[in-house]
């Protein structure tokens, strides 16, 4: 889903500043950079992975009305 959203956002914006030949290479390389940044972000913020993030959210809502 993220690649589709990136393509839909970047194509009109890149079309304003670059020619069509440069557009495909810029979109492809920017998509790779954003995927890498997303991986690094999750490694820094949640080093044990998305599974631990999901467990934290699930545990929070399990005891939600009584937070003791």
pTM metric for this prediction: 0.53
Average pLDDT, the chain: 80
Q: Please, which pLDDT band fits residue 35 given cuts at 50, 70 and 90?
A: confident
Domain boundaries, the chain: 2-62
Give me the mean pLDDT over the 6-22 stretch.
72
Residue 10 in tokens: 């970047």
């Amino acid at each position: 889903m993220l690649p589709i959203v990136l393509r839909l956002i970047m194509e009109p914006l890149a079309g304003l500043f670059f020619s069509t030949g440069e557009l495909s290479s810029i979109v492809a390389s920017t998509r790779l950079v954003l995927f890498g940044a997303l991986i690094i972000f999750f490694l820094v913020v949640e080093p044990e992975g998305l599974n631990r993030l999901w467990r934290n959210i699930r545990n929070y809502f399990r005891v939600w009305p009584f937070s003791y």
